[in-house]
Amino acid sequence: MSQLIKITLPDGSVREYEKGTTGLQIAASISEGLARNVLAAKVNGQVWDATRAIEQDSTLQLLTWNDLEGKNTFWHSSAHLMAEALEALYPGIKFGIGPPIETGFYYDVDFGDHKLEGEELEKIEAKMIELAKQKSEFIRKEVSKQDAIAYFQEKGDEYKLDLLEGLEDGTITFYEQGNFTDLCRGPHIPNTGFVKAVKLTNIAGAYWRGDEKRKVLTRIYGVTFPKAQELKDYLTLLEEAKKRDHRKIGRELELFTFSEKVGMGLPLWLPKGTLLRERLVAFMKRAQDKSGYQQVTTPHIGHKVLYETSGHYEKYGKDSFQPIMTPNEGEAFLLKPMNCPHHCEIYKHKPRSYKDLPIRYAEFGTVYRYEQSGELHGLTRVRGFTQDDAHIFCRPDQVKEEFIKVIDLVLYVFKALGFQDYTAQISLRDPEKREKYIGTDEAWEKAESAIIEAAAEKGLETVTELGEAAFYGPKLDFMVKDALGRKWQLGTIQVDYQLPDRFQLEYIGSDNQKHRPVMIHRAPFGSLERFVAVLIEHCAGDFPLWLAPEQINILPISEKYISYAEELKGILEDAGITGNIDNRDEKIGRKIRDSEVKKVPFMLIVGEKEQEERKVAVRKHGQGDLGSLSLEEFIEYFQGIISQSLSKE
Q: Considering just the CA atoms, what is the radius of gyration of the chain in Å?
A: 29
* Torsions phi, psi for 12 (to 5 deg): 95, -10
Dihedral, CA atoms, 593, 598, 602, 605, nearest 10 degrees?
-40
Q: Could you confirm whether 521 is annotated as catalytic?
A: yes
d(CA 647, CA 260): 42
Residue 516 DSSP code: P
Q: CA-based angle 492:498:499, to the nearest 5?
A: 80
Catalytic residue among 42, 177, 336, 387: 387
Under 8 Å between Cβ of 533 and 245: no
Spatial neighbors of 182 by CB under 8 A, at least 6 apart, are 80, 83, 95, 98, 174, 175, 176
Catalytic residue among 521, 522, 530, 599: 521
CB atoms closer than 10 angstroms to residue 567: 15
Q: How many CA atoms does the CB half-sphere of 304 hold within 13 Å? A: 13
Catalytic residue among 127, 312, 315, 369: 369
d(CA 13, CA 61): 12
**Closest C-alpha to 497, from 394, 588, 601:** 394
Q: Could you confirm whether 481 is annotated as catalytic?
A: no
Q: What residues does 95 pair with on adjacent strands?
A: 109
| Strand spans (E) along 301-358 | 301-303, 324-325, 332-335
Under 8 Å between Cβ of 54 and 9: no
CB atoms closer than 10 angstroms to residue 578: 15
Q: Could you confirm whether 247 is annotated as catalytic?
A: no
Q: Three-state SS for 644?
A: helix
Catalytic residue among 352, 391, 405, 615: 391
Under 8 Å between Cβ of 106 and 99: yes
Give the DSSP H/E element, type plus range, for residue 177.
Answer: strand 173-177
Contacts 24+ apart (CB under 8 A), 610-616: 610/561, 610/564, 611/561, 611/564, 616/554, 616/568
Contacts 24+ apart (CB under 8 A), 609-613: 610/561, 610/564, 611/561, 611/564
Which runs of consecutive H residues, i.e. helices, occur in 554-607?
562-574, 588-597
* N residues, the chain: 649
Catalytic residue among 475, 530, 591, 615: 475
**Closest C-alpha to 104, from 189, 38, 200, 243:** 200
Q: CA-based angle 533:539:545, to the nearest 5?
A: 105
Catalytic residue among 110, 312, 315, 340: 340
Burial 70-106 (b: 16+ CB within 10 A, else e): bbbbbbbbbbbbbbbbbbbeeeebbbbbbebeeebbb
Catalytic residue among 182, 389, 482, 496: 389
Q: Three-state SS for 291?
A: coil
Sheet holding 40-43, edge to edge: 14-18, 4-8, 58-63, 40-43, 46-49
CB atoms closer than 10 angstroms to residue 433: 10
User: Cα 419 to the chain's mean position, in Å?
Assistant: 14
One-character DSSP codes across 68-107: HHHHHHHHHHHHHHHHHHHHHHSTT-EE----EETTEEEE
Active site residues: 340, 369, 387, 389, 391, 475, 521
